[in-house]
Amino acid sequence: MLQTNGKKLFDAVGADAVFTTCDYMKRYITGFATENGFVLVDKDGTYLYTDARYTEAAEKRLQGTEVTVKMVDRFSTPYELLKNYASVGIPVAVTSYPEYKKIEETGVRIIDATQAFRDAMAIKNDWELSCIQKACEIAEDAFLALLPEIKEGMTETEVAALLEYHMRKLGAQGVSFDTIVAFGAHAAVPHHETGDTKLCFGDEILMDFGCKVDGYCSDITRTFLFGDDGKHEEFKKAYNAVLTAHNLVKEKLVSGMTAGEADALAREHLAKEGYGELFTHSLGHGIGLNVHEYPSVRPKNTDTLVDGMVFSDEPGVYVVGQYGIRIEDTVTLQNGKVKSFMS
């Protein structure tokens, strides 16, 4: 059942009201997506203000929750409402300068709620976790459905389109990001731009993909060979090192570790195997309504990882002009230990 986050956020901010027009933050607070309008939370409740295009769907979706839907004109402005409060918390980091100035002109005291939003969004409730679980299941099932359809001569774009089709067919609302499909040496570019390169027997394939369920993202990377032409001994050696590093994180990461300590679990193993300088990005990133959000699981980051956080476990090795390997699951911390959303 949908769990909304208005009260949780209001308590964290410590202002007389919380206000935002940011699309994903409105969705975080209310559980409903709307391209316009705003959300206001105060001691009396959570209010979603939107126009007639969305009110019927919003009322149906939010029935039985703490959220009250209020219809306003599509072009109305919310700033007069803010004059009813002495202080208002807004996420300054995602508030445009013109909007900030209009809020400031009301005379209300502005409290920056950016960190309160960040910290609240980092700890997922049961409903959010269930959405991410479903998004991971759809992405994984779509990948398995795709595998027997991959044929020599297909382009990277064709494979990406087929995968996205399967995710949609299985119930995804959309993709988490532009699907990455990289053939051969293209996999050495961590964020390769999927193109018209054709698949040949013996190529490696790297696929980085994910989908959304109720706005919440999954993020997965798989690397494999399209047939073995006997020229991939170094690739296989590196693959085993990356897979071991990936699994070490699942086995040894516990709640209370810092993000830097988590990153080191994988990085130190790859360094021991001779691949340290070839692991060129962080171990992972937070995943939720955004595919990249807090926390950042990177070297020397002292932020503490705790139960309820969701992030990626994605060590990699990249040899320019030759091959690239990344193995990525979306994971969470539950009861002090890593729980993968992948089967």
**pLDDT score, position 277:** 98
Q: Please give the Cα distance from 215 to 32 (Å, whole number).
A: 9
Q: Please give the Cα distance from 312 to 332 (Å, whole number).
A: 8
Higher pLDDT, 138 or 36: 138
Residue 289 has pLDDT above 80, yes or no: yes
Domain ranges of the chain: 6-122, 126-340
**% of the chain beyond a pLDDT of 90:** 96
**pLDDT score, position 76:** 78
CATH architecture of 6-122: 3-Layer(aba) Sandwich (3.40)
What confidence category does residue 244 fall into, taking pLDDT thresholds of 50, 70 and 90?
A: very high
pTM value is 0.96
CB atoms within 10 A of CB 217: 26
The answer to which of 30-44, 53-67, 70-84, 317-331 has the lowest mean pLDDT is 70-84
What confidence category does residue 230 fall into, taking pLDDT thresholds of 50, 70 and 90?
A: confident
Residue where the block lists tokens 């935002």: 20
Q: Please give the Cα distance from 16 to 87 (Å, whole number).
A: 5
CB–CB of 220/287 below 8 Å? no
Q: Please give the Cα distance from 153 to 7 (Å, whole number).
A: 54
**pLDDT score, position 196:** 98
**pLDDT score, position 44:** 97
Mean pLDDT to the nearest integer, 301-330: 98
The answer to which of 73-77, 167-171, 296-300 has the lowest mean pLDDT is 73-77
What confidence category does residue 9 fall into, taking pLDDT thresholds of 50, 70 and 90?
A: very high
**pLDDT score, position 1:** 85
What confidence category does residue 38 fall into, taking pLDDT thresholds of 50, 70 and 90?
A: very high
Mean pLDDT to the nearest integer, 54-73: 96
Identity of the amino acid at 73? D
**pLDDT score, position 77:** 80
Mean pLDDT to the nearest integer, 263-273: 98
Higher pLDDT, 230 or 212: 212
Higher pLDDT, 224 or 230: 224
CB–CB of 17/40 below 8 Å? yes
Q: Please give the Cα distance from 196 to 209 (Å, whole number).
A: 18
**pLDDT score, position 343:** 79
- Calculate the average pLDDT of the chain: 97
Q: Please give the Cα distance from 66 to 57 (Å, whole number).
A: 16
**pLDDT single digits (tens) 97-144:** 999 999 999 999 999 999 999 999 999 999 999 999 999 999 999 999
**pLDDT single digits (tens) 128-187:** 999 999 999 999 999 999 999 999 999 999 999 999 999 999 999 999 999 999 999 999
**% of the chain beyond a pLDDT of 70:** 100
Q: Please give the Cα distance from 196 to 300 (Å, whole number).
A: 39
**pLDDT score, position 265:** 98
**pLDDT score, position 229:** 85
The matching CATH number, chosen from 3.30.70.141, 2.40.33.20, 3.90.230.10, 3.40.50.720, for 126-340 is 3.90.230.10
Residue 68 has pLDDT above 90, yes or no: yes
State the Cα torsion 316-189-173-293 to the nearest 10°: 60
Q: Please give the Cα distance from 40 to 46 (Å, whole number).
A: 6
**pLDDT score, position 320:** 97
Query: What is the crossing angle of helices 156-169 and 126-146, to 10°?
Result: 130
